[in-house]
Amino acid sequence: MILNGLDLMVNQGEIHTLLGTNGAGKSTLAFLIMGREGYQPQSGAMLFEDKSLLELPMYERARRGITMAWQEPARFEGLSVSDYLTLSGGKVKAEKCLKQVGLEPKAYLKRSVDKTLSGGERKRIELAAVLAMQPKLAILDEPAAGIDLLSLDEITDVIQAMKKAGSAVLLITHREDMAGLADTASQLCGGHIVCHDQPEKVIANYKARRCERCDGKTCHYE
């Protein structure tokens, strides 16, 4: 999906839900912010703490405090989960972060971040790493981040822990219940924001005009 005329602001310490159906451009926006290879805007501005991100590579954006949980978490043969959470720049105890994503620390701290872990386990561990980092901005693309593996109560705990630590959270999802966790919400359709309001109002608009796959036409906001 090509983003066009998109205007979005996420404030410091804010939980901001980006709601949209498949094909609306949600993951494209996440990759654009993070600076993934092949995702570069042709025009417009992208600012973080009043400084442009456009010319910065992904690693420099990470240094500035932006992080994202990826669809395919990394594997590090021979590296323990405990060391992985520390290498991620963790400021919070690994045990606490593992518990917050539903993993028992005693069962995982000494395990290697490799193919012996299931995909679901690795996603939870990467989410724990995001918690440990306490980034300035955490981008959580629901299925990619493994958020969909958690119960709504667990999701709430994780998101609130990030907010309490001072992180802004951009939660990208197609689920109305997750949108309700936010301080504010925006709806993405056809590559641009069609609705920005209090979560309950955005959810109502989304539910009233929801399509199985984004057609870029029906989700206007009145």
| pLDDT band (50, 70, 90) for residue 183 | very high
148 DSSP assignment: G
Instruction: Say what the pLDDT of residue 89 is.
Output: 59
Instruction: Say what the pLDDT of residue 211 is.
Output: 65
pLDDT digits 0-9 by tens, 44-60:
899 999 999 999 999 99
Q: Among the residues of the chain, which ranges form H helices?
A: 26-34, 58-63, 81-87, 94-100, 105-108, 119-133, 142-145, 152-164, 176-179, 199-208
- For 178, counting Cβ atoms within 10 Å of its Cβ (0-12 exposed, 13-18 middle, 19+ buried), the class is buried
Instruction: Say what the pLDDT of residue 175 is.
Output: 87
Residue 72 pLDDT > 60: no
**Domains of the chain in sequence order:** 15-72+135-208 (3.40.50.300)
Instruction: Say what the pLDDT of residue 222 is.
Output: 47
| Mean per-residue pLDDT, 150-174 | 89
Query: From the centroid of its chain, how far is CA 210?
Result: 22
Instruction: Say what the pLDDT of residue 91 is.
Output: 55
Residue 73 pLDDT > 80: no
Share of the chain above pLDDT 70, in %: 86
| Mean per-residue pLDDT, 10-29 | 90
Instruction: Say what the pLDDT of residue 138 is.
Output: 94
Residue 166 pLDDT > 80: yes
102's enclosing H/E stretch is none
